[in-house]
Amino acid sequence: MASTQASVRTMWALGDYHRFATATVWTLGPALVEACRISAGERVLDVAAGTGNVAIRAAQAGAAVVALDVTPEHFDAGRRAASEAGVDLEWIEGDATMLPFADAEFDVVTSCFGAMFAADHQATARELLRVCRPGGVIGMMNFAPRGAAADFFRLLSAYAPPPPSGALSPLLWGTEDHVRSLFDDRVQSLNMTRHEYEEEASSSREYLDLFKHTFGPMVAIYASLKDQPGRAEASASAVTELDDAFLQFIARWNRGAREGPVQLPYEYLLVIARALGA
């Protein structure tokens, strides 16, 4: 378990996650804060916070915020972004399946494309509920298992190492039945709606380079392809193959001009649950 967590931390620490996040999902932070109706005086925990996409926006709404992530290498960039936004929040290293907090400590618990990546879904759901006060809100954005998101995950899985034994697909968090089974009768209400956002770049090559150099999991994959001692030709071929596969992925889903800007739609499930009690 410890070695798995260490490898996950190492992978997500590669590249430049803040650059990646601000170029892709950064606009979704305010949307999740609004959906959870976060307001001044509330205590908020953002799980798998990255560099503060949701956490910083919750602090701007007046909440007292804790940003938790398994990869503390993100925190310096997060602190700089928070300072630029004129807010202060607490940054804590931690695992979504073993949150280092007391029961019912937070009014709102959020996660934007983060907690869904924890291997143990049951433990993650249990922990999100445990630290939320009675009557409090759990808000999540989770990629849906169809469209561009599903295609992207299939692409990565063809080149990435196999997941840990027993690990469930993160995309299950984007299905209503799975989320319902996880929260079950432990919430007084559960609202789930499907939405879409777009990721943009000036060209397909720019979008490829963004992922190739800043997105930890892809940085790790490219490094593994290049790390073939004595097999330079095979390594170069494998890198080219992945480049081409990613460019084909872009072409399949791009809503922009064929040779121009990239506009890729990603579908996600917005989950708003209210914990039992008050």
Listing DSSP states for 66-105 in one string gives EEEES-GGGHHHHHHHHHHHT---EEEE-BTTB-SS-TT-
Classified as helix, coil or strand, 184 is helix
At the fourth CATH level, the homologous superfamily of domain 2-199+266-275 is Vaccinia Virus protein VP39 (3.40.50.150)
Residue 91 has which token pair? 């940054």
Residue 8: band (very low, low, confident or very high) from pLDDT cuts 50, 70, 90: confident
49 Ramachandran zone, left/alpha/beta (phi>0; psi -120 to 50): alpha
Residue 35: band (very low, low, confident or very high) from pLDDT cuts 50, 70, 90: very high
pLDDT value of residue 215 = 95
pLDDT value of residue 187 = 96
- Residue 174: closest CA among 268, 109, 39, 76: 268
- Looking at 3-7, 190-194, 214-218, which range is the least confident one? 3-7
CB 110 within 8 A of CB 53: no
Mean pLDDT across 65-70: 97
pTM: 0.93
- Looking at 47-56, 169-178, 233-242, 245-254, which range is the least confident one? 233-242
Classified as helix, coil or strand, 133 is strand
CB 172 within 8 A of CB 145: yes
Read off the pLDDT of residues 75-117 as tens digits, 9 standing for 90 and up. 999 999 999 999 999 999 999 999 999 999 999 999 999 999 9
Q: Which residues contact 185 (CB under 8 A, 6 or more apart)?
A: none
Residue 245 has pLDDT above 80, yes or no: yes
Task: Spell out a b/e string for 100-122, using b for 16 or more CB atoms within 10 Å of the CB, else e.
Answer: ebeebbbbbbbbbbbbbbbbbbe
* CA end-to-end span of the chain: 36
Read off the pLDDT of residues 115-154 as tens digits, 9 standing for 90 and up. 999 999 999 999 999 999 999 999 999 999 999 999 999 9
Residue ranges per structural domain of the chain: 2-199+266-275, 201-262
Residue 5 has pLDDT above 80, yes or no: no
pLDDT value of residue 232 = 52
Which amino acid belongs to residue 66? V
Q: Which residues contact 120 (CB under 8 A, 6 or more apart)?
A: 97, 167, 168
Q: What are phi and psi of 159, to 5 degrees?
A: -120, -20
pLDDT value of residue 49 = 98
Helix (H) or strand (E) holding 112: strand 106-112
In whole angstroms, give the CA distance from residue 4 to residue 6.
Answer: 5
- Residue 140: closest CA among 99, 96, 88: 96
Cβ of 185: how many Cβ atoms within 10 Å?
Answer: 6
Per cent of the chain over pLDDT 70 is 94
